[in-house]
Amino acid sequence: MLKEFKAFLFKGNVVDLAVAVVIGAAFGAVVTAFTTDVLNPLIAALVGKPDFSAYLVTVNSSKILYGLFRNALIAFVLIATAVYFFIVVPITSMRRAEVPPPPRTKRCPECASDIPLEARRCAHCCVQLA
């Protein structure tokens, strides 16, 4: 049973997922710091408040902290933008740049079956190939 568990742990998918979670958590911390330390002060220069978390509305003595939602929304937009421009766009362009492998077969002009490029005669209809 221990061998099976070890084999499960060292499968590519499990290790890749663990690395992705750790990198994602670190990336989230970077984006949160960027939002808190860079973006919010820039917005504060325009709006006048350094942090949206102080924004709230009181309804029947209940506090609705819509400023925290606004901070989370800004962080989400930043993360989505970074993931798109730094992960999705480069990978998409790399996939487009991949050259398909050269063909290994050709079509028989007589019966339209696939035959190897090196063939001098079609195996299906026995026509002589040029």
| pLDDT, tens digit, 9 for 90 and up, residues 101-121 | 888 999 998 899 998 989 888
Query: Which sequence spans correspond to the domains of the chain?
Result: 2-97, 102-130
| pLDDT, tens digit, 9 for 90 and up, residues 78-105 | 778 877 888 788 888 887 877 788 889 9
pLDDT value of position 49: 65
pLDDT at 50 over 80: no
| Superfamily for the 2-97 domain | Large-conductance mechanosensitive channel, MscL; domain 1 (1.10.1200.120)
Against a cut of 0.75, is the pTM above it? Answer: no
pLDDT value of position 114: 92
Q: Which residue type sits at 60?
A: N
- How far, in Å, CA of 69 to CA of 85, rounded? 24
Q: Which residue type sits at 9?
A: L
